[in-house]
Amino acid sequence: MALTSSLFLSIIFIILLYGQSLHASEDNRKAFIVYMGERKQNQPSTSASLHMSMLQKVAESNVGVGSLLRSYQRSFNGFVARLTEKEAQQLAETEGVVSVFPSEKQQLHTTRSWDFIGFPETVKRSTTESDIIIGVLDTGISPKSPSFNDKGFGPPPKKWKGSCQVSANFSCNNKVIGAKYYRSDGSIPEDDVKSPMDTDGHGTHTASTAAGALVRDASFFGLASGTARGGVPSARVAAYKVCWNDGCTDADILAAFDDAIADGVDIISVSLSSGSSDYFKNVIAIGAFHAMRNGILTSVSAGNGGPQLETIANFAPWTLSVAASTTDRDFFTKLQLGNNVSYKGFSISTSDIKNLPIIYGGDAPAEGFEGSSSRFCRTGSLDKNKVMGKIVFCDDLTSGGGPLLANAAGAVLSGREFGETSSPFPLPTAYLTRKDGSQAYIYINSTRNPTGTISKSTQQINKMAPMVASFSSRGPSPINPNILKPDLTAPGSNILAGWPATASLTGFELDKRVSAFNIISGTSMSCPHASAAAAYVKSFHPTWSPAAVKSSLMTTANPLNADLNPDAELSYGAGQINPSKAAFPGLVYDVVEADYVNLLCGEGYTTKLLQIVTGNSKSSCPANHGTSPDLNYPAFVTSASPAKSINKVFNRTVTNVGSPTSTYEAKAIAPPGFKVEVNPSVLCFTSLGEKQSYTVTVQGVADKKTVVSGSLIWDDGTYQVKSPIVVYIPMIKILMHIVYMGDRPNGEFSASSLHTSVLQEALGSDASDALVHSYHKSFNGFAAKLTKDEVQKLAEMEGVVSVFPSGKKQLHTTRSWDFMGFSKQVQRAELESDIIIGMLDTGIWPESESFSDEGFGPPPHKWKGFCQESSNFTCNNKIIGARYYRSDGIFGEKDIISPRDSNGHGSHTSSTAAGASVRDASLFGLGSGTARGGVPSARIAVYKICWFDGCFDADILAAFDDAIADGVDIISLSVGGSTSFDYFNDSIAIGAFHSMKNGILTSNSAGNSGPGPATITNLSPWSLSVAASTIDRKFLTQVKLGNGEVYEGISVNTFNLDEKFFPVIHGGHAPNKRGGFTSDESRYCEAESLDKKLVRNKIVLCDWSGGDGSAASIGGSSGIIMQDEEVKDFARLFPIPASTFNPKQGDEISLYSFEVKDESAPFVVSFSSRGPNPITIFWCIYILWQPDLTAPGVDILAAWSEATSPTRQANDKRVVSYNIISGTSMSCPHATAAAAYVKSFNPTWSPAAIKSALMTSAYPLSDEINKDGEFAYGSGHIDPLRSIRPGLVYDAGESDYVEFLCGQGYSTKSLRLVTGDKSSSCSKVKKLHASDLNYPSFALSTTSTKPITRTFHRTVTNVGSPASTYNAIVKSPKGMKVIVKPRTLRFDYVGQKKSFVVKVRARVDANDRNMISGALVWDDGDTQVRSPIVAYYSSSTSY
């Protein structure tokens, strides 16, 4: 499995490796493999005629000459045929058929390495090594490579029965003794050749790694110079080309196994994977089984799916599964910028470029692309005219194809993670860490003419080697977790080996470099190392079984350091191969076919099926159905449950292959926490081939550590036969899930009984332990701890709408009311004090002046909630209710187990929405004035759902369940996830839907993931999604340098240095070396990275603005400056004097903060998440935009918890009553208050009517300042005063949303559960196109630059003057034509409804903004009801 720069673990030759079926005919046929087990020796015609007759029985007259694609007849029985699904099913039920499965495409898993593992050129060799034949199933071979020179070789061994498919461009020799190609569908890819010739490079690389001849002075353009050689350079190679430029099909892989076994190979090497976990639906497992039956060991790559556990791709117990580890060689590429700052890149560059201009990919989009796409430098996304001859900076790892095709001279990539391997690129490239990439980006934006130099790569010693590569797949086996997988590890990182002169080095046609050798990485590279080691053992012991060869490799492997490899044996198996020792192991653990049959019986395979597989009618499963721990494997592995005792007995038999007379003593090292007993502990042998049996008993209690290991060594003084002992806790993930069951049943019902019975049906007796919380007051469902299988069972049960993980949401972290024209003196409704706002947040600080209940009467009669009082918490007539929720019962050290706020966020949002007026509020004098909420007379009900580690779905849904039933009027929720979900897999969307059903509007923060498109996470159309914008106040920190120069930085700095100057030190000059930090780390001033002595009483200059200042604060520094050339549109608070800017000079600095007026406000802040709505689409077209509107969310002063500091950092000891913070968390409660204000005047209005009032009365923002237009600010900026008298509203009720959901593809069955209405039916109602949802806006998008037309149907309700006439005023920009019918709406009474149609024709050019917008305004002379119209061009619907 080869690894390259194109994708993290993709193949160097860039092929499409998706599971596509072979060419299908017009009758929906596709290629299936029909596996029939062992070929019958007494039936020479086990082939085409038999297979054709079987086809005719199921397909009758439809069987054509081309239906049977191939018959397997040389080594086992089966065939490949074009079948329909029905025919495949009929054949699967036919007598004599083991399995039928599609022929899928599989993936390739893609020298100092031999010297590194102690296997030098001068190692002892067997005289029969040249008789060993390695069969390599891969992309073919290039026989002209110097690695396959046959000088000194005699003719092929007499046992060889294969052939060479000679062609005009291909012939074999005495090194490459055989070669064939396989293409079952007959179609040869255009850029490939119809011969065994390797046009890709992968097959040549793997074959030369295993058995390449010695080639002196080999290198990759001078890199990795030395002697290139295979592990068994005298061995012969038989090449079987099963992989082409479009993948490797199962049918061809199995055909190659069929031939290779019959041809007489000794070892089969397969650096690719097959998908199925059923052994006999997996072509590699099938082929390897028959190879084992014929005395041939199959060596396979473990896979490139790491570093996660349970990702191993090849795991059949009769194969040798090989992980990949590093060697002591690494490659680095230096990037030097025009400011003389250098960075270490992780890549392999074969040439250098000097002092060339650098351009950011996001600034150079090609026609039809946006900067949001071109920033990643994908193929075709870059403008050639802008990047030609320059270095392109890219925001992610890319293959380099994008810059190459755009004629760039080089590339700088950002985002390298620890453990990623250096790889070749098609042009000079430096792959930087995310931090270094951030600094390089800052430099690019700091000067008009950024330049850079990329040097040719250099080689360095990797002192941490060997270490399992991050990409290497991990065990345990998904079928039998008690068998060690992978079996061992071998070098697979940065391997130099042969390469065809005709193949691109990086997979790109424009990469014209030619080299006889290439450096690539992957388990594809480790597999042939193990294949060679197996061949080396086989050359000394030609009669040994595959299991004996495998045992010798495993018991002599060198153990790796578990501290460097936390997954221990699950990542490296028995250890790293040691071929020179493996040839002489002393003892072997042998396994024969009968043992594997016994194992398969224990795993549920039937006697009948196994008789077909083995071709032995006497095979039968024993009564005890053999168990996997008793398979005679050279390792002892068992799984355990945490805190539960185990007592596992293993039975093993060893065969003496060392000294005839020998005595072995057992030396056991028990895994931590366990006891190991070996009986007998001494084994005495008197002859070679003698067998002795023993047992190993492992006893103990597993702790929480995933893997613990020990070992058993049998030692006779000459040989040490080592086997790992591994106890691990399997990854049975029991996670909190939400089981949503829709609306609550009518009448009284026992929720706990119902939910327990549902769980019992899926789980059995453990149901009561799994149930965590029942939702029953406002809707129906529960939270429970479930495994993956249990989730699947529940999701398929009657009455269940959805089952989804209880994910963790994040908090979306006052002059603001006056700024929007909503003064203290505005008109108030008498009912305002009856309005109850439900705040779902971090709790509240009840002692804050903002929550004083002076002048308040008792709670409204409608209130049904209560207060969870405790010794540290009580409610009052302002805070009329409070509860806390923590479904898993796990609290942090600083959490307060009550509704009290220990974070500050909840107090801040609550006071912003409904806080009382508090004069002279400020943060140490900053933001001074009157702090107040939008509806200061309203009541607050607190639902604490957020804690030290976030806000969990189970708790969010529980709070919704209570809040709806408690009688709140508005729900405010300033939290959200990192991604958007299906509406009914999202706790917030579910809760908001049931709130809407009960007449309650939910106000959500849009999210803080901007400014990228489609980053909004709270987007259900029945809730109000709120973006964040600035107010006319911002905080600057003046930075005065020792030379008198003054700069203005951005921060909220509450400290006064009295113009005292302090020395400056760069963080990179003060690393905490005792703590193990280097200058490369301390330059960013991260936690613990600074030397306290060096930074004390100094101002620290840091190279990153993303830090929180904690390292400098803890170190006792006097201040901190974070260099950043990006424009900052909001200020942050720090625990010490701080500013964010880029000082040009000066070695002494002073800091102080002040407040200024921001003349450009309001504009949408950069962090505010943008639309469009990524869920609601129709034919790949976005048709709802969201956010709905924007509100103040920057530098907001509001109440704070006195249980924490203003920065929430432990070393910040300040305590404040009010704090200044920013986020959509701050804008959301502004909109919440505005909604409550509207509700106080119009208590009977629906949630949709209130939302419409807010949206149609919002004032539009400038699209010159806000380039993302309505996708940034929705309908505009809230104007609470205008919203109470909107004139007309676009109303929508539950039935409208049901029609909308029908149009989105939700089923009648699901919607009946959601609504609780059994008469709901998508077949009976109009399936509402999303564009016709009665929404107060109009959006259309297109993926074409051609004109698009869309018709919208809307209905408005008169809530203004009884007798009124509204005229349509259309504002349309160039490229948009809007027709409204009728253009006049006449009303005779309040509540009257009128419908109209809007037809929009728009053409959107793929320009910088990709959108045009206008508006429809209904005007009666007094009231203007405004709705935006947006047309949007999307080059891609995937963000």
What residues are labeled active site?
A: 138, 202, 524, 841, 905, 1225
CA separation for the pair 244, 1084 (Å, rounded): 47
What string of H, E and C letters represents the secondary structure of 905-938?
HHHHHHHHHHCCCEEEEEECCEEEEEECCCCCCC
CA separation for the pair 748, 744 (Å, rounded): 10
CA separation for the pair 1242, 177 (Å, rounded): 89
Residue 21 burial (CB < 10 Å; 0-12/13-18/19+)?
middle
DSSP letter, residue 1217: S
> Residue with structure tokens 């001078």?
222
Residue 1099's closest CA among 1140, 1058, 1063?
A: 1063
> Residue with structure tokens 């149930």?
771
What string of H, E and C letters represents the secondary structure of 721-779?
EEEEEEEECCCCCCEEEEEECCCCCCCCCCHHHHHHHHHHHHHCCCHHHHEEEEECCCC
CA separation for the pair 1199, 975 (Å, rounded): 18
In DSSP terms, which residues pair with 738 in a beta bridge? 783, 804
Burial 1016-1030 (b: 16+ CB within 10 A, else e): bbbbbbbbbbbbbbb
**Residue type for position 357:** P
> Residue with structure tokens 């999202």?
986
CA separation for the pair 955, 947 (Å, rounded): 11
**Residue type for position 1121:** I
Rounded to 5 degrees, what are φ and ψ at 918? -125, 115
CA separation for the pair 376, 393 (Å, rounded): 9
Rounded to 5 degrees, what are φ and ψ at 851? -115, 20
CA separation for the pair 76, 90 (Å, rounded): 21
CA separation for the pair 1066, 1082 (Å, rounded): 9
Q: Residue 1150: enclosing H or E segment and its boundaries?
A: strand 1148-1156
Which tokens is 930 given? 């009157």
CA separation for the pair 1207, 1212 (Å, rounded): 7
DSSP letter, residue 1074: G
CA separation for the pair 1151, 744 (Å, rounded): 59
**Residue type for position 57:** K
Residue 946's closest CA among 901, 916, 994?
A: 901
CB–CB of 1378/1399 below 8 Å? yes
Residues 6+ away with beta carbon under 8 Å from 870? 897, 898
Which tokens is 453 given? 């130099």
CA separation for the pair 485, 309 (Å, rounded): 11
Question: DSSP string of 1348-1374?
Answer: EEEEEEEEEEE-S-SSEEEEEEEE--T
Residues 6+ away with beta carbon under 8 Å from 1358? 1287, 1288, 1364, 1387, 1389, 1390, 1391, 1392, 1393, 1394
Q: Coil, strand, or helix at residue 948?
A: coil
CA separation for the pair 99, 67 (Å, rounded): 18
Q: How many other C-beta atoms can be found within 10 angstroms of the C-beta atom of residue 1390?
A: 13
Q: Is 178 left (phi over 0), alpha (psi -120 to 50) or beta?
A: beta
CA separation for the pair 278, 1340 (Å, rounded): 47
What string of H, E and C letters represents the secondary structure of 619-649?
CCCCCCCCCHHHCCCCCEEEECCCCCEEEEE
